[in-house]
Structure 1
Amino acid sequence: MAEQDDSFEKTEEPTPKKLEDARKKGQIVRSKELTTTLLLLFSAFALISVGQYIASAMFGITQRSFMLSRDETYDIKHMFQILEMAVLESAWPLIGFIVIAMIGGIYGSVAMGGYNFTWSSAAPKANRVSPMKGFKRMFGLEALVELLKGIGKVLVISGMAYFALIIFKDEALHLDVELYPLNIFHALDMLEWAFLLLVVGMVPIALIDVPFQNHKHNKEMKMTLQEVKDERKNAEGDPMVKSRVRRIQYQAAANRMMQEVPDADVIVTNPTHFSVAIKYDQDGDRAPVMVAKGADQLALHIRKIGQAHDVPIVQSPALARAIYYSTEADHEIPQKLFMAVAQVLAYVYQLKAYKKGKAKRPKALKKDLPIPPELRR
């Protein structure tokens, strides 16, 4: 019972396949705090970089719009000229600000989890409208963490705002004695740096949220021992099915080899445990080829086919084992066995000539054929 309970506990790290399947469903690690912080940081730096140009453009537009001559007040086309001037003067600074802020927003979105586009996240799901699921989200650990983050943001940003007021208090109080319009640009400059200070207060919250989101995502992706076994089984295939496939493949290979046995020049046997059939085309450019091999029952089957088709059978246990273990079907005999195989073939050819009355009876084949030690089994 204990083992059965353990198999349903999510104690195993997620496999690459589990993570890839989750990614396809849109389940990737994200940090809203990191996205917001990067967007605001890029916006702050963009404001510092091009804020002066935006302010200058706005000041010029405002000044030109309210300083009209008598003739311009009666000119109907003047409004459109002012609008064109406003667009031309403010377009490039505003575009620069928008582009920099957009880069920050995009990078913040893909900084954790990378780019991922899927329609699975947009598909309607029953658990999103389930009251019980909603209740758990409202009062669960995640809701508590979000509440603590919200309180932390309020405290940190309030502290940074107070810090900014202390820094710029004297400068702000003396703006009224500065020359116009320099005091306006000075005020905008202070606002830019104050905004940067407020954004910097978000950095610690993002640094805390990133590892929390990683931990949360990893916990959600963890698998039970049974899920790991099922995934491995699906990936590798059912053992029974694989065994059946191997058996069918073996039978098909054996059938192909048996078809080659009748054309073999000689069958070398162990004499009971191994049999190898060798064929040599004297007019071809290949060395002797092992066309079939088998052990135990398959070896006996090879010998029966050979006997039925008058294929010479030679007993040489050492050579039969050496060829069986070193050569695959339809492959040439290893070069180190050429001498031994040549002696066997010479004996067979002489024996065939003797049976036809064209030669004397050959001497018995040597029992100790030249087989290298490394090929002996």
Structure 2
Amino acid sequence: MAEESDDSEKTEDPSQKRLEDALKKGDVAKSQEVSAWFVLLGTGLVVGMLSSPTAIGVSDALRGYVERAHAIPMDAFAVRDLWRETGMKIGAALALPLIILLVMAVAGNLVQHRFVWSTERITPKLNKVSPLAGFKRLFSKESLVNFAKGLAKIVIVGSLMTLVLWPQRDTVDTMIFRETSVMLTETRDLVLKLIIAILSFMTVVAGLDYLYQRHRWFEKLKMTKQEVKEEYKQTEGDPQIKARIRQLRLERSRKRMMASVPDATVVVTNPTHFAVALKYEDGMQAPVCVAKGVDQVALKIREVAKANNVPVIENPPLARALHASIDIDESIPEEHYRAVAEVIGFVFRMRRRKSWQS
């Protein structure tokens, strides 16, 4: 019941990290039927194209021993050399068919997933030798599906073999009375017919089984919402901590910005929403933005400016344009030179007038 509840809570698709971790452990979507299909195809190629050359090679390797069996010495050294020579000849005759079967077996795995090198699957684990765990696996859903699939394959493959062999029953009965070359040719053709019939059926089985195994593997790797959160914390950090860090950085940046407002030459505002503090001194190419903000931040900038006798000039279009076009510590764009020059010129005239009056 616990496993079922856990599975029911796995509602989230596996993350890329989870998929990569599964691949490193050798846990991949794999259908044995696809591998069997490739091996069966390789067998058909070997039987169709290499059966005659292979049979001739093996026959040549053994004919001499049958023809001159009486002349073969049987001492220890002669028998050793005999076995070595015979093994080399038979190995040479069977090398190409075996290589083809090996290549097809490897291809059956590579078409399903990329190459994986992992010892995880062969590492001894106590739960693999546990009688209770073995009993559970024996009567698990996967075991029942494999049993039903195997039973269906036996019935269907047996039926296909019957359909292919039954019309040839007279030929099979009299095949032993034919010449060896004719018997081998007829046997090859009959085996090829069987392989083609079974291969046609196995194509459908392999395709459906791969889709099922892929779906089952993907469902097994699904994650609960809690697992997604935990993985995010491990890879990206705790969201709450990151949010707190961003908040602290924003507060420090805002404090530094507010500390620059008393040194500003002028603050250009939209009465309630925008505020941009500009600084200009002799020798500067263009005024620089030392602070900007909207709403509450804009209100704070105006308060700090008034407390430090920094002129606050209301110019809504210019305030909005400057806020949108520049960041802190950046010079104003050229298209705003004239408007800003008029504002700063007005501020400088006000300063000179106050100095004359004083």
Fold-level similarity (TM above 0.5): yes
The CA distance in 2 between the partners of 1:164 and 1:46, in whole Å, is 20
Q: Letter of the aligned partner of 2:88 in structure 1?
A: V
Q: Corresponding residue for 2:47?
A: 47
Q: CA deviation at 1:196?
A: 1.7
How is 1:256-335 mapped onto 2 (pairs within 5 angstroms)? 256-270=256-270, 274-280=274-280, 283=283, 287-295=286-294, 298-299=297-298, 302=301, 306=305, 312-318=310-316, 319-335=318-334
- 1:349 matches 2:348: yes
CA 1:167–1:102 in structure 2 vs 1: closer, same or farther (change >3 Å)?
Answer: farther
Question: Partners of 2:247 and 2:268 in 1: how far apart?
Answer: 26
| 1:55–1:149 Cα change, 3 Å | same
The question of 1:58 aligning with 2:58 is answered yes
Query: Is the deviation greater in 231-240 or in 99-108?
Result: 231-240
> Is this contact kept in 1: 2:10–2:224, CA < 8 A?
yes
Q: CA-to-partner distance for each residue in 1:63-119, whole Å, 9 max, x for gaps?
A: 23334499986998898599558736862x533222221222112223334443334
Q: How does 1:1-377 map to 2 (within 5 A)?
A: 9-10=8-9, 12-17=11-16, 18-68=18-68, 80=81, 87=88, 91=92, 94-176=94-176, 178-179=178-179, 181-183=180-182, 185-186=184-185, 189-190=188-189, 192-193=191-192, 196-197=195-196, 199-200=198-199, 201-224=201-224, 226-227=226-227, 238-270=238-270, 274-280=274-280, 283=283, 287-295=286-294, 298-299=297-298, 302=301, 306=305, 312-318=310-316, 319-354=318-353
Secondary structure in structure 1 of the residue aligned to 2:341:
helix
Distance 1:236 1:61, change over 3 A: closer
- Structure 1 Cα separation of the partners of residues 106 and 68 of structure 2: 43
1:198-249 Cα offsets, whole Å, 9 max, x none, are 7425444434433332343344334445555666677775453233122112
Task: Report the Cα offset of residue 177 of structure 1.
Answer: 5.2
SS class of match (1:145): helix
SS in 2 for 1:293: strand
Q: Summarize deviations over 1:233-275 as a string: whole Å, max 9, x none.
A: 7777545323312211212222332454454332334557643
1:54 is displaced (CA, Å) by: 0.8
* 1:150 partner amino acid: G
Are the aligned partners of 1:43 and 1:104 in contact in 2 as well (CA < 8 Å)? no
- Measure, in 2, the Cα distance between the counterparts of 1:7 and 1:176: 62
CA distance in 1, matches of 2:126, 2:176: 61
Q: In structure 2, give the amino acid aligned to 1:15.
A: P
Kindly state the Cα deviation for residue 307 of structure 1 after the two structures are TM-superposed.
6.2
CA spacing shift, 1:272–1:15, aligned 2, 3 Å: same
Per the alignment, do residues 350 and 65 of structure 1 end up closer, same or farther by CA in structure 2, a change over 3 Å counting? farther
Q: Number of aligned residue pairs: give it.
A: 351
How far apart in 1 are the matches of 2:6 and 2:35?
Answer: 38
Q: What CA distance in whole angstroms lies between the structure 2 residues aligned with 1:208 and 1:8? A: 24
Normalising to structure 2: TM-score of the pair? 0.77
The code of the aligned residue for 2:105 comes to G
Cα deviation, residue 154, structure 1: 2.3
Distance change in 2, residues 1:7/1:126 (3 Å): closer
One-letter amino acid matched to 2:347: V
Tell me which residue corresponds to 1:371: none
Q: Which moved more, 1:158-167 or 1:46-55?
A: 158-167
Which consecutive residues of structure 1, in runs of 5 or more, have no partner in the other structure?
362-377
SS in 1 for 2:252: helix
Cα drift, residue 42 of structure 1: 1.6
| Aligned partner of residue 116 in structure 1, secondary structure | coil
User: Measured at CA, do residues 323 and 7 of structure 1 come closer, stay the same or move farther in structure 2, by a change above 3 Å?
Assistant: farther
Matched to 1:350, the amino acid is: R
Letter in 1 for 2:312: V
Q: Supply the AA of the counterpart residue of 2:311.
A: I
Q: Alignment partner of 1:332: what SS?
A: coil
CA 1:126 to 1:242, structure 2 compared with 1: closer, same or farther past 3 Å? same
Q: Distance in 2 between matches of 1:320 and 1:326?
A: 10
Distance in 2 between residues matched to 1:126 and 1:72, nearest whole Å: 55
Query: How big is the shift at 1:30?
Result: 1.7
